[in-house]
Amino acid sequence: MSLGASVEGAAGAPATAALGASAPSPAAGPVKVAPVAEIQEPLLARVVGALAAPTMAFLAALLLFGVFVAITGRNPAAVYYQMYRGSFGTWFSFQNTLLRASPLMLTALATALPLRLGLVVLGGEGSMVIGGLAAAAAALAAHNHGPTGVKLAMLATGALVGGLWMAMAGALRAYRGVNETIATLLLNYIGIALLNHIVEGPLRDPASLNKPSTTPIGDDNMLGNIPGLDCHWGLAFGILACVATWVLMNRTTFGFAARMVGGNVRAALLNGLPVGRLFVITTLIGGACAGLAGGVEVAAVQGCANASLVTGYGYTGVLVAFIARGNPLAVIPVAVLLGGIGASGGLLQRVFDLPDATVNVLQGILFICILFSETFNGRAPAWLRRAPKPATVKGAV
């Protein structure tokens, strides 16, 4: 007899069978048992429960942003149409969206992966900046090794340094109890300050007068575009990183241990899991993704390290990670969506004379709505959560 099975006695009064209770006699009548497969919530209910909260949050953000636009005297419907044109309406605008989505995929992983362990890490911006600076320095050091060697050195160094930068916050959380959110925010400011100091000091190119920067890496060492697209290889790196980290977190023992830590740290410790080591390794991987984004930014876009590395992609990646609920695969479409919103800012400025930062207002509203929607996370509508029908078993069980 399973726990909680309802038994109808001879008198018709229901009783609850406790674990280990003796089985009823055959004369006791039919026994209704709910099979394990039917006790679980239906698949449709689980899917709707997972998608309902972020979808409603996004719609609420659009509504609130429409009110904001209307207050400024513009037609919200016309603004939304131009946003669509500027992000997905033409092939050119769609490729521009993909260009913006590429670094967002990588910086979002810097928050999404630690989120699976219950860590709120906001250090993607710092890891990206430090990774880009390290990539520029690596290009100068490896300039005698040919274009392929320079590119590999830039990407590998950017990922390694960015990973180590964020792993410091993971180590502080694991071994000193320092809050990871505060630690990563402070590391962002330190990383930006280091960038400004080194670019304006030891590594400054004497020819960069108005905008201090490092020595250009050279056209031969620049990362090219994907064949058939006006988009650099950072897009492919971002997609591959999302797929690889999804496999890591969902199909390996490391990922299982990480999810167990995220579910209950005390239970993980009681089961002998190395919680501190998991903190450090996960932040290392997340920081490596953000550092790779910085390396790609130098190798494919800027051609050198300068103040333009402080793009805000790291902070937008936090929003992407929260909307994707820490799922690396969900990061891909969400990054494209947020990249499209960012790409439409210029068109809004030209058509409606709105500031280019208007889209940042939408992103801020969206972030607030996502945080508020956590209250309703996983709650499917009542009509989808039907009670399972018990199976009737003739005779004794």
Closest CA to 132 of 219, 214, 218: 214
Distance of alpha carbon 7 from alpha carbon 30, whole angstroms: 8
Please report the pLDDT score of residue 154 as a whole number.
96
Element (H, E) at 92: helix 91-115
Assess whether pLDDT exceeds 50 at residue 36: no
Please report the pLDDT score of residue 38 as a whole number.
42
Average pLDDT over residues 93-112: 96
For residues 396 and 23, the answer to whether their CB atoms sit within 8 Å is yes
DSSP string, 169-208: HHHHHHHT---HHHHHHHHHHHHHHHHHHHHHTTT--TT-
For residues 58 and 51, the answer to whether their CB atoms sit within 8 Å is no
Residue 278 counted as domain residue: yes
Tokens of 74: 């513009």
φ and ψ at 85, to 5 degrees? -60, -40
Q: What is the CATH number of the domain that holds 264?
A: 1.10.3470
Distance of alpha carbon 115 from alpha carbon 22, whole angstroms: 46
13 and 82: one domain?
no
For residues 107 and 316, the answer to whether their CB atoms sit within 8 Å is yes
Q: Look at the chain and report how many structural domains it folds into.
A: 2
* Average pLDDT over all residues of the chain: 85
Tokens of 369: 């709505």
115 and 167: one domain?
yes
99 and 16: one domain?
no
Segments forming the whole domain that contains residue 206? 75-353
Residue 140 counted as domain residue: yes
The radius of gyration computed from the CA coordinates of the chain, to the nearest angstrom, equals 26
Q: How many CB atoms lie within 10 A of CB 68?
A: 16
pLDDT in tens, 278-309: 999 999 999 999 999 999 999 999 999 999 99
Assess whether pLDDT exceeds 50 at residue 65: yes
Assess whether pLDDT exceeds 50 at residue 383: no
Average pLDDT over residues 154-170: 97
178 and 244: one domain?
yes
For residues 288 and 170, the answer to whether their CB atoms sit within 8 Å is no
Residue 253 counted as domain residue: yes
299 and 205: one domain?
yes
Residue 49 counted as domain residue: no
167 and 107: one domain?
yes
25 and 164: one domain?
no
261 and 311: one domain?
yes
105 and 31: one domain?
no
164 and 282: one domain?
yes
Tokens of 137: 């320095």
Distance of alpha carbon 308 from alpha carbon 132, whole angstroms: 10
Residue 50 counted as domain residue: no
pLDDT in tens, 236-264: 999 999 999 999 999 999 999 999 999 99
32 and 164: one domain?
no
φ and ψ at 177, to 5 degrees? 75, 20
Residue 54 counted as domain residue: no
Please report the pLDDT score of residue 30 as a whole number.
52
Residue 296 counted as domain residue: yes
Please report the pLDDT score of residue 40 as a whole number.
52
Please report the pLDDT score of residue 18 as a whole number.
37
Assess whether pLDDT exceeds 90 at residue 118: yes
Closest CA to 57 of 380, 371, 376, 370: 370
177 and 266: one domain?
yes
Beta strands, E only, the chain: 6-8, 14-16, 31-33, 391-393
Residue 359 counted as domain residue: no
Assess whether pLDDT exceeds 90 at residue 315: yes
No. of H helices and E strands in the chain?
15, 4
